[in-house]
């Protein structure tokens, strides 16, 4: 399975937001609630990653609860690819 770099995932995250007329700020500490990044958006980003790496990711992870910032999203998706 190929893996995506954190920068690549960040680009995809930006595309998800841009499609809705929103912007991804440069600061990865930004809260998701502040930029309107919702559950549906996270799902879409996850599917984009799956499509790109060509395999399904295993989301059975308690870490989902602690995803509050942009950095949390990027870290979590990076961990999933390495799992």
Partner 1 sequence: MTSGSSGSPGPRLPRGAGNTLVTRGYRGTWADLPRLGLPPVAAALVDGHGAAASAAWEHTLTPRETLVVSGRRVDEEQAEELRAAGFALVPLSGPVSPAAAQPPTAAQPPTAAQPSTAVQPPTAVRPPDEGRLWLMTSGSTGRPKRVAHTLQSLTTVAADQPARRWLCPYAPGAYAWWQVVTLSLAHPGQDVVFVEPDELAGWPELALAEGVTAVSGTPTFWRQALLGAGDAVARLPLQQVTLGGEPVDQSILDRLTDLFPTARVSWIYASSEAGASIAVHDGRAGFPKSWLERSAPGRPRLSVTEGELLIDSEWSADGFSGPLRTGDRAEVIGDRVHLPGRIASDEINVGGSKASAAAVRRVLLAHPGVAWAQVRGRRAPLVGAVVSADVVLTTPVTGATTPASASPARATTATATTVTTELTRWCADRLPDHAVPRRIRLLDEIPIKETLKSDV
Residues that bind partner 1 (CB under 8 A): 15, 18-20, 39-40, 42-44, 46-48, 51-52, 54, 57, 59, 64
Which CB sits closer to partner 1, 59 or 68?
Answer: 59
Smallest distance from partner 1 to CB 53, Å: 8
Nearer to partner 1, 34 or 59 (CB): 59
In the complex, what is the shortest distance from the CB of residue 47 to partner 1, in angstroms, rounded to a whole number? 5
How far apart CA 82 and CA 49 sit, in angstroms, is 13
CB of 43 to partner 1, least distance (A): 4
Quickly count: other Cβ atoms within 10 Å of residue 28's Cβ: 15
Q: Which residues are paired to 69 by β-bridges? A: 31
For residue 68, give the 3-state DSSP assignment: coil
**Residue 25 DSSP SS3:** coil
């Amino acid at each position: 399975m190929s893996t995506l770099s954190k920068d690549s995932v960040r680009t995809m995250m930006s595309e998800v937001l841009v499609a809705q007329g929103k912007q991804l700020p440069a600061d990865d500490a930004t809260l998701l609630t502040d930029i309107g990044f919702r559950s549906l958006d996270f799902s879409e980003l996850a599917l984009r990653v799956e499509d790109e790496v060509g395999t399904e990711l295993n989301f059975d992870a308690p870490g989902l609860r602690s995803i509050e910032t942009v950095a949390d999203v990027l870290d979590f998706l990076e961990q999933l690819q390495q799992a």
